Amino acid sequence: MEKIQVNYEEIYNRSDEIEFLKMQFEQYKKEVYFFNNSAEEVAFLYNLGLFFSEHYKKNIDLKQEMYIQYIFRNANDFYFSVYCYLQGIKIFENNLDSLGHDESFINEIMKRCYVNLGNELSNHYRTIDALHYFNKALLLDYNFSMARGNRAFCLEKHSPFIGYNEQDKVFNYIHDEYWAIDISKLENGERLFLTSMLRYDTLKKSYLASLAQGKDPQYSPSNLLSSIDDNEESYENWSVKNILYLNFLNDYWSFEEAKFDINIDDFCSEKKIPETSKEIINNMINNFISLREDLYKNINDEDVDYYRLANIFCSLFSFFDKVSFFLYKHFALIPPNNNERRVNMNSIWNFKNSEGHKLLDYKNTFLFNLFWMRKEYRDENDLELRNLLLPDAQELSDYRNYLEHKAFSFNANSELYFIDPRLLESKTLRLMQLVRNKTLSIIGLLDIDSKLIDKKSGKRDVNLTYLNYQLF
């Protein structure tokens, strides 16, 4: 089939017609369009993603119940914008030699693509992924005020104090992030950003006044998060730079304070987590830490053992099933015929507990993050969604399929399915970051769950929602 040029004028004129936008998306997925170069393709995806985002947000009242529904959305339609941004990012990152030096393209398209994706995820409290993309935008332009401001908003939805108690360091960091914004260079939202800047400045002044009066010895304006020494090669530095520590502070940036894993025993005792749930998450954390250490040792050896790397990859992929089993036990779900063999990451969302509630009846942001991660990486039954899979999801699935169930080769000249050893390293590292995200989501889920359980009855109220917003 002969490819055709994109009719950009028609797209802009009809950008408010959702069915037309979906048709453009389908045409792109079917590779109908011809692009002159990678930059044009990324720009097309960026604009299409922007139009999808604007369509689904324009009728949302941020102060009403509709906003809650917007946060806890689960329809596939809402995923179009995320896919477009991610596909554009994948093309950009795979073509850094040609696109990475194009300052005009980076300024006009790419850094905005990262920020828009970060906003899309942040709006739905998927803050681990959101901060990942805001940070990437700042690597392109550290002074990009739209990235700094929206990232600061996201930091306030994040959960740094689970397992970490130096609140003054976090406050000072977010305060400084807001005040790094150049209001004159913002493209929109000036009043919103200025309000947050002034709020943090007012808070800081009140803390300083209390400190001067001897009322608040816990606060110090000089208590700041400490950046790691990038020149030091160590397991700890490697872990924090690759965002592999099991704590929420590591998502901020590479700081010395983030070199720790949450003490799950203390956390579970404080939150009164049921013993079975505690055992499952404890096993997952210890398994993850062991795999993290193995991965570091393996990729830093002079002779990398790629078969060992393949085993690490497969072990990490098994965490999807571990997560599903945790949810099954923690929420006391009932599988068909009470058969635990029916428990998996796809089926778990259809099970009910003894009160007739399904998982998505509980409005827990971390639970919905797990729901979307499952859809992105493991939903093998939803044919519609398979058209919306993350750009790297199918590659990870293919790797796992061949490593576990079929024949493969690390030799490019073999007739078997070729797995590039160097690419396997990057895929395993990316998969480890995803497993960290899932593990932290369980911890965050437990934190929120503990706030929504009635202390007298011990039951969850499906009508209650708890949102982290404005840490201070």
DSSP annotation string for 19-62: HHHHHHHHHHHTT-EE-SSHHHHHHHHHHHHHHHHHHHHTT--T
Asked if residues 204 and 148 have their Cβ atoms less than 8 Å apart, the reply is no
Q: Which stretches of 141-234 are DSSP H helices?
A: 145-157, 167-178, 190-212
- Predicted local distance difference test score (pLDDT) of residue 314: 94
Provide the residue-wise pLDDT of the chain in tens; the chain has 472 residues.
789 999 999 999 999 999 999 999 999 989 999 999 999 999 999 999 999 999 887 766 656 667 787 888 877 778 899 989 999 999 999 999 999 899 999 999 999 999 999 999 999 999 999 999 999 999 999 999 999 999 999 999 998 899 999 999 999 999 999 999 999 999 888 999 999 999 999 999 999 998 888 876 688 999 999 999 999 999 999 999 999 999 999 999 999 999 999 999 999 999 999 999 999 999 999 999 999 999 999 999 888 899 999 999 999 999 999 999 999 999 999 999 999 999 998 899 999 999 999 999 999 999 999 998 887 776 555 545 555 556 677 778 888 888 988 899 999 999 999 999 988 999 999 999 999 999 999 999 999 999 988 877 878 888 888 888 778 8
- Predicted local distance difference test score (pLDDT) of residue 311: 96
- Predicted local distance difference test score (pLDDT) of residue 218: 80
- Predicted local distance difference test score (pLDDT) of residue 58: 76
Among 1, 46, 50, 53, CA closest to 27: 1
How many other β-carbons are positioned within 10 Å of the β-carbon of residue 187?
Answer: 9
Buried-exposed string 367-381: b where 16+ CB fall within 10 A, e elsewhere: bbbbbbbbbbbbbee
How many other β-carbons are positioned within 10 Å of the β-carbon of residue 414?
Answer: 11
Asked if residues 293 and 335 have their Cβ atoms less than 8 Å apart, the reply is no
- Phi then psi for residue 44, to 5 deg, are -60, -45
- Predicted local distance difference test score (pLDDT) of residue 390: 64
- Predicted local distance difference test score (pLDDT) of residue 462: 87
Q: Is residue 64 helix, strand or coil?
A: coil
Rounded CA Rg of the chain: 23
Asked if residues 45 and 39 have their Cβ atoms less than 8 Å apart, the reply is no
In angstroms, rounded to a whole number, what is the distance separating the alpha carbons of residues 192 and 470? 13
If residue 2 lies in a helix (H) or strand (E), which one and from where to where?
A: none
- Phi then psi for residue 468, to 5 deg, are -75, 120
One-letter amino acid of 79: Y
- Phi then psi for residue 233, to 5 deg, are -95, 110
